[in-house]
Every structure is written in structure tokens, then in C-alpha cells.
Chain A
Amino acid sequence: MANGSKQIVDFAKIKATMADPYKHPVQVIDREGKVVNPDILAKYSDDQLVDFMKKMVWERTLHEQTMNFSRQGRLGFYAPTAGEEASEMGSVTAFKEQDFLAPAYRDLPQMIQHGTTVAKGFLWSKGHVEGNIHENKNMLFPQIIIGAQYVETAGVALGIKKNQDKDRVAFVYTGDGGTSQGDWYEGVNFASAFQAPAVFFVQNNGWAISVPRYKQTAAETLAQKAVAMGVPSVQVDGMDIVAVHEVSKLAREYAAAGNGPVVIETLTYRFGAHSSAGDDPSRYRTKEEEKPWFDADPLIRMRKVLTDKKLWSQDQEDKLVEEYKDDFKNAMKEAEAAPAQKVSDFLKWTYNVPTPSVKKQIAEFEAKESK
């Protein structure tokens, strides 16, 4: 500034301090498997901790089995989840059956934990309508349009509030890339404006297909975006299942108590490709970048904590993996036995009351299908 006079406002300083409240992501178990927050860990029983591990092993096995099925051409679109187990299992287990889940395409594991079946997950991937139907379960199908589930969640949360449902919230997931969509801001802002009970998760796995997180925004954290909407937010180590669970539970309590929404950014990593549809991460990221993240594997970390407590063994894990694999193979058989879909049904479902021309088309297709 000329003449050394003081500026009335210092934008550079404002920018430099915006991320200050987010500099220390919540953590209970660090990257080396050391417990850095023993008070929090102590709140969890041995059974709960073992259950966390089982859920992560379940998800990793599901991932591996699904990749196999994909290679065999037995699935359609599938978004790999390895690396994100702590973020996905840690969060979903903090919610109750009555809570409403709005998943993205990478959130099949949470859907299954929240009450649907593995076979349905496979059917969704294969492009079969049965995979979209989760009757009497509080969830949407996996959303393909990035951000759309955020605005819809605001609506679900407002509906919950208007119904005066007690102890009930809506929870929703996007990726880091998703936070760039207008719908993301609109969803968080609406929920905030209506003080509706929603928990918004951003699973920041570092990449939106080939675009790194730092190219989505110049904001230092994604969590801080919530501030503009008047919503409290937090960054959590997304490869630490205890930390994710603890934070999710607190967020749920806060929202369910009528305080309005919360935004949670989980810092995680996608180990594999973006999807089973031909993405090759080696085109856009390096081994050097990947290594520390692979080392931070949430399973390795939890395995260490449990082994130290003599609650876990490799044998036990191997046995579990085999059990889970059998379950998944059976689920695949179930999915593959689903009856073929009919275009006449699609036509019947397009309207509640079919229009005259649609009625004609239903008849045409029924005639074709009965041949």
C-alpha cells in the first residue's frame, strides 16, 4: 500500500486464515495405528471395535469380489470402494434404521449396511430395475447425477421436520468433485435455511476421475465451504473408522436435536480406478502420490489396534473373507436369476395413468414379448 498507510481491509490475510478452524482433522488412530485420542477410543467396547473391523473387511472383500465379477463381465457400471472403508462404514454405522440415506454411485456398501441386499446392489450395477427397489427401506437408489442427491436430501430433511418425526435425520454422500456442483451449495443452503435435520458427507478421496482435489477449488478445505451457508462443519481423518464414526454420531445427534444440518469432510483415498468402465489412474497420478495413501490403509490401521489388544488375528480375518466371498457369490447367483425386464413394464411405469399413446405402445410390446 502506498505511503505505508494501513489498509481498511486485508484480503490476503483474510484468505490466509479462512481454513484455520480446519487445520487439524479429527483423528483417534493415527497413520501408524497409534491411538492419539485414548479417551475417545475408551468409549468403544471391544465388540464394537471388532465389529468396525469386520465391516471394513466385509467392504474390502465386497470390493475385491466385485472387481472379479466385473472382469468376468458379470456386472455393469461399478465404482470401486477400496480405501474408503473407514469413511463409508464409520459413517453409515452411526445412523439408525429410520434415518434416510441418499447415496451416490460409490455408496452401495452403505446402502447394503442400511438394509438392502447385496443382490440388489449387483442388480443395480447390471442395470436391472430390481436394483432400484428398496421397499420399506429408508433410502434412494444410487445417484448418478452428481449433486442431485444433495438438494433432494434438503427436501427429505424438511419433510422429516414437517412430519415432526423424532430422532430421525437424512444423510447423504458426494465426492470432493461433487462439492463444485451448484446442487451441492443449494442443498446445504436449503437445509440450513430451513434448519432441517441433515448430515452432508463429502468423501474427499482426492480425485474426481482425473481431476485432483486442488483443481476443484482454491479453498484449502472442503469443510470450510459450509461456513458460508451458516452450517457447522468438520474435517475428519477418513481412514480412521473410529474418528469417522464418532464425528458422524455427534453430527447425527446435533441434527436430530433440531439444530439444523452439519457438513463432514472425510479425508480418504480411492485406491483403484474411478469406475469399472475403463478408467486408468496411471494416466493422471503417480506411484509417489499413491504410496503414502496405500500405507494409510484403514484396515492396516485398525488391524494394528485390534492385534495390540489381542482382539484380532490373521486367521480370523482369512476365515471371514472366505465367508463373505461365499455370501457375495450367492448374491451374484441370486442377481443372475432375476427375470428379464420387459419394455411393456417400463411403459407401464412411465406414468401412473398411461396416456392413450403409451397404452397403445404397451399393447404393441406385450404382443412382441409374448412371442
Chain B
Amino acid sequence: MAKMTYIKAITSGLDQVLNDDPKTLIFGEDVGKNGGVFRTTVGLQDKYGEDRVFDTPLAESGILGLAIGLALTGWRPIPEIQFMGFTFEAMDGIVGQLARDHYRFGGTKNFPVTIRTPFGGGTHTAEMHADNLENYFVSTPGLRVVTPANPYDAKGMIISAVESDDPVLFMENLKLYRSMKDEVPDEKYTVPLDSAKVVREGKDITIVAYSAEVNESLKAADALAKDNIDAEVIDLRSLSPIDTDTIFASVDKTHKVVVVQEAQKMAGVGAQVASDIAEEKIMSLDAPIGRVAAPDSVYPFAQAENDWIPNADDIEAKARDIFNY
């Protein structure tokens, strides 16, 4: 075991899948010699050669089309879209084609494509580099959407994603890349693509979050603990499908819940979680479902990000409201 950053954990997972399966291919913009603009694929071209790890021309639609065609001819593509804001260029490839193809082929063909893409705000990037766009993808049948919130899950989930025969959108959080370290096993292990995880146990209120907001929620839980409010924090990890079993079990224990997301509020993942809870567990609730989300404006200009992105204070305040309801 070694302490690894989130980004190193992903590199380690990719290294393992390239090593184990000669059919895996990494490609995209700058992923080769440069090792990606964040260095996620650093060293992999040296190790596996330009046939397995290669730069493409600058066209996301082309990258996704390539992935689909390669999957059709027996390969296991791991395309990178350099920033999630550029998935719009590949929207037909992802949503209009890839996600539907298993269905369209009557289940006779698999599309084991893992699309890696960084996302998430708070690092003052240029426009279109930070947006949380998961809501566009979670409403797409045929696609799995996952996002680890720590290095251990990052490695285990990238391996599961590549080994999955369904297409997976693997969202990597920009802010987490180098801001946290974990013990990460050197050997291969997997983390399932459809399970949430209780990352802090508590009995008074459940906070459901994902990606960087998991850390904010943990901070909020620490602050609440000072007032003897014992919050349970759940990391969704998978945004499609959503692991309602884990959430429902927690709601049955705490009877109060706050759902947190970094994305804008309208029709987001949080809305889905809230409606799942309302549909199945309304009688178990002692208070309304609290929601914390970004406001419904376009993603803010970089200088104002800190006022816009929900943080631990926002979560703590909402949790207090719900707890004291």
C-alpha cells in the first residue's frame, strides 16, 4: 500500500488495465507524450507504446466516433474528453449513439467504452472547464455515470469501468486531483459501479452527496457534531444508477435527510434522489427533504466561484434547518 493522490490512483488503475488487457486503448487530446493536460496518463505511452496510448486530432465528436468504431471491432476504448465542458462536442457520440447501441443491436453487441473526463469547479479555470454537466448524462438510458470522491474509489472504479461491458462516463473531479491522498493498494482491486457508500456513520440526519461535495459534507458533519448533531454522510459514487438501498437504510435510521450537489438545482441528481426518497420513504421522514445545490444561473465567471458553489457552511445551515424542523 502506498499513499496516493486521486490522480495517481487513476493512473495506477489505467496502468493495470492496460497491462492486463491488450485490447484496451487510451486516446484523446494530449494524452500521449504529454500524459494529459493534468498528467493523468503520464508514462503510459512510454510503457505501452503509441499503438495503445495515442493522441488524436482535436475533435471530440471524432474521438467518440472512433471509440464506437473501435468497440465494434473488438477493442476496449478509454477515450478522454479533456474537460467535461467539451463533451457537448461529442454529445451525439455519447448520448445519441454510444448509449443506445446495445439496445439498437438487440443486445447482441457490447460497447465497453469508458469515457474519462475532468469536471468540477473551484479552481478558477477558464469558462467551460469546470461545469458539472452530469444531469445531461444521468437522464440517458444505456449509460452508467460514476464519479469517485477519493483516491481509493478512484482506482477501484476506473478498473471496474474499463472492465464493464456497458459504456461508462467516468467523471474525475479537478479539485480532488491533487488535494487529497489515501492509502491505495498497489495491486488490482475493483469498486462496484452501482453502490453508494456510507463514509461517516451517524444517527440524527443523513447527508447524501457526491464528488467534492462529499468532503464539504464531512466538514459540515464535523461542525454539526460540536452541537451533538450526529450526521451520517453518504457518498453516492454512482450517479446512474443510484443506489437507493443504501440511502433508504440510512433514512430509516435517521428519518431526516439533506441532499447535496455542486451542480445547479434544476433537474439535477439531487432532485432524483429526493424524489426516490419521497416515493418510497416518505412515511419514514420526520422533516422535509433538504436540498443544497448551486443556483440556477449559468456557471459563474471564475472570480465569483466561491460565492456560487455550495460549501460546508451552506450544508451545515441546511442540515440544522432540517434537524430542527
Contacts and interface: CB of A to CB of B under 8 A. Distances in A.
A165 B302 CA distance: 37
Nearest to B61: A182
A279 B37 contact: yes
Contacts of B298: 346, 349-350
Interface in A326-354: 340-343, 346-347, 349-350
B307 A343 contact: yes
Interface string A241-270: 000000000000000000000000000000
Contact of B303 (A128, A146, A147, A215): A128
B152 to A, nearest CB: 26
B192 interface: no
Contact of A210 (B55, B125, B301): B55
A146 B89 CA distance: 10
B296 A358 contact: yes
A174 to B, nearest CB: 10
A52 to B, nearest CB: 30
A146 B83 CA distance: 12
Given A183-B89, A208-B58, A209-B29, 13 more contacts: A77-B126, A105-B126, A127-B124, A128-B302, A144-B85, A180-B57, A180-B62, A182-B59, A209-B37, A210-B34, A341-B301, A341-B304, A350-B297
A177 interface: yes
Contacts of A341: 300-301, 303-304
A314 B85 CA distance: 46
Contacts of B305: 127
In the A-B complex, list the 9 residue pairs whose CB atoms are closest, starting with the nearest. Answer: A127-B302, A210-B34, A180-B57, A77-B126, A177-B58, A346-B297, A341-B304, A180-B58, A350-B297
B131 to A, nearest CB: 11
B58 A178 contact: yes
Interface string A83-110: 0000000000000000000000100000
B110 to A, nearest CB: 27
Nearest to B34: A210
A365 B126 contact: no
A177 B55 CA distance: 12
Contact of A211 (B58, B62, B128, B297): B58
A166 B305 CA distance: 43
6 contacts: A144-B85, A211-B29, A343-B300, A343-B304, A349-B297, A361-B297
A210 B300 contact: no
B58 A340 contact: no
A218 to B, nearest CB: 10
Interface string A353-371: 0010110010011000000
Q: How large is the interface on B (under 10, 10 to 19, 20 to 34, 35 or more residues)?
A: 35 or more
Interface of A: 76-77, 105, 126-129, 132, 144-147, 177-178, 180-183, 208-211, 215-217, 277-279, 283-284, 340-343, 346-347, 349-350, 355, 357-358, 361, 364-365
Interface string B31-47: 01111010000000000
Nearest to A209: B30
Contacts of A215: 55, 57
A76 B61 CA distance: 28
A342 B301 CA distance: 10
Contacts of A144: 85, 126-129
Interface string B288-299: 000000011110
Nearest to A364: B295
Contacts of A349: 297-298
Interface in B44-94: 55, 57-59, 61-62, 85-86, 88-89
Nearest to A77: B126
Nearest to A181: B59
A211 B59 contact: no
B189 interface: no
A363 to B, nearest CB: 11
Nearest to A185: B59
A208 B29 contact: yes
Contacts of B61: 182
Contacts of B59: 180-182
Contacts of A355: 296
A343 B293 CA distance: 14
A144 B83 CA distance: 11
A357 B308 contact: no
Contact of A181 (B58, B125, B300, B301): B58
Interface string B113-153: 00000000000111111000000000000000000000000
